[in-house]
Every structure is written in structure tokens, then in C-alpha cells.
Amino acid sequence: MAANRLFVRRRDGRIEVRLNDAGREVAREAFGRVIAAERDPQHEWRDTLNPPIDPSIDADDPFSTLNRQNEISTNAELAYMTLGEQFLNEGEAWAWLSTLQIALRSTAISHGLLSEQKLSACEPPLLDFIRTLQQFLFSLAECI
Amino acid sequence: MSNLLRSVLSSTETRQDTTSVVKTERPWNVVVWDDPVTPMSVVVVIFRRIFGYSNNKCTQLMLQVHHEGRAIVWSGANDRATSYCVKLQVAGLQATIEKDE
């Protein structure tokens, strides 16, 4: 099974990225969308990236929301910059995991896929994209 | 007694007085919500990384989110709850804060 793992923790602590070109293209698309969503106020993922912190009040503390925006952007940009790397360090791997997870949830929410039934019934290319991101995350989580 | 020493001693006395006041406030809870797409192992990794909990505790919390739809993952002061909530959101989980009832 080890041969099928997409990410592998090496003895020196680095995480080896075993994605082929097609896999890296999917990651590029996911990271690129998160970066675009953070820069474009009209992006369809914008609401997903700006959820309420305390739903009982009208507006959250601007410092906290700005901090969140900065951290999401920083992670996404670091992930994007390391797309071609064969090995990731701990911080880069965390940036990949966070950004892939944000892309996964944003894709599902923006298409209204909020239940397992709706997820199973969605169009094949979309389901394929979601399942691929899940597989990346599953493999990456195993070695973080 | 010098003025400086008098002033230091007087501020110390004030401090002793104020520490006797017990302030009780309801804690704030950090709540993580279930969603159908996030892999379970990812939730465990995020809890471990952000809170430093043991694998067992992270797994228990993840299963609570999965089965009950939500779980309180941390309780305490408002500013720390907000900070943890933001960290969970940055990691891609659906999280909010609420005052403990």
C-alpha cells in the first residue's frame, strides 16, 4: 500500500510529495482558487472564507477577521509557491493541509453539497474533484 | 520611611485588597460543527495541532462532532476562545464561539 501513498514522511522529518503532474494540477487549482477568493470580494467562496466567529452578534471583532484573512492568504500562498517541491517541511505541509481543507469545504458549500446524499448525487467532474481533494487530505493527515 | 518605599508598600497593600475579589464569569465555548466532506483523520490532526490534545482525546472529540453534529472543543476566556476559533477556521473547519449556558 505504501506505493500508493501520495505523501510520505521521510526519516529526516520531511514530507515527500508523490503527486504526479495531474495531481499537482488539481492541487494548483485548489490553492489558486483559495488565493483568488481571498483577493476578490465577489468570489463565490467569499462567504465560506468569512464565517461568523460569534453568531450571536452582528459583526465580529475586525482584528480577528483580519487576522483570519491574513493567515488563510499566507497559507494558500505558501502552498502555491511550494507546488513544485518534492519535499515539504512541517510548516509547508500544514499550509498544504489547511488550504486543501478550505478548498474542499468551500467547493462543497458553494455547490450546496451539505449532506452525503447530495454529495453522492452531484455531477461526476465535481465529485471527482472533491474525492481527489479528500484523498490528498487523507494521505497528508497520515504523515503530519 | 522614604516616599518611594511608602508608595511601593501602599501599592502592594492595594494589590492585596484587589486579589481578594473573586470574579466569576461564564466561560466561552469553542464549538466545532460537522460537515459531510471533511475526512475524520484531518479533524484529528487539526485538533492535535491547535490544542495539543492527545490522540485519544482528539479522536473522541472528532467522533462527537461526527455523531452529534457538534462538540465543545475548548472552554475559557472570550479572547482565547476567539483566537482558537479563528485558528480552527484558518485550518478549514466550521467553528464558532458561544457563551456557556
Tell me how far apart the alpha carbons of residues A108 and A76 are, in angstroms, rounded to a whole number.
18
Domain that holds residue B56: 26-99
Q: What CATH number should be reported for the domain holding residue B52?
A: 3.30.1390.10
Residue A120 contacts B, CB cutoff 8 Å? no
Q: Let me know if residue B93 belongs to a domain.
A: yes
Chain segment A1-17, per-residue pLDDT in tens: 455 799 999 999 999 99
Whole-number percent of chain A with pLDDT over 70? 98
Is B35 inside a domain boundary?
yes
Domain count, chain A: 1
d(CA B87, CA B101): 24
Chain B residues closer than 8 Å to A72 by CB: 90
Minimum-distance CB partner of B41 among A56, A108, A141: A141
pLDDT at B10: 65
- What does the pLDDT look like over A86-107, one tens digit per residue? 999 999 999 999 999 999 999 9
Helical H segments across B1-101, by residue range: 3-19, 40-51, 55-68, 78-90
User: DSSP state, A122?
Assistant: S
- Which residue range(s) make up the domain with A64? 2-143
Confirm whether the ipTM is greater than 0.85. Answer: yes
CA dihedral in degrees (A79, A85, A87, A89; nearest 10)? -30
pLDDT at B11: 59
CB contact under 8 A, A54 and B37: no
Mean pLDDT of B79-97: 97
Q: How many structural domains is chain B composed of?
A: 1
Instruction: Using a CB–CB cutoff of 8 Å, tell me whether B39 touches chain A.
Output: yes
d(CA A112, CA A41): 20
- A-chain CB neighbours of B86 within 8 Å are 53, 64, 67-68, 71
In a domain, B58, yes or no: yes
At A16-70, the pLDDT tens digits run 999 999 999 999 999 999 999 999 989 999 888 999 999 999 999 999 999 999 9
User: In whole angstroms, what is the distance from residue A101 CA to residue B42 CA?
Assistant: 8
- Average pLDDT, rounded, for chain B: 88
Does residue B66 belong to any structural domain of this protein?
A: yes
> How many CB atoms lie under 10 A from the CB of residue A96?
29
Query: Quick one: pLDDT band at residue B21, thresholds 50, 70, 90?
Result: confident
A15 touches chain B (CB under 8 A): no
Confidence of residue B24 (pLDDT cuts 50, 70, 90): confident
Note whether residue B79 is domain-resident.
yes
Question: Contact B57/A14 with Cβ under 8 angstroms?
Answer: no
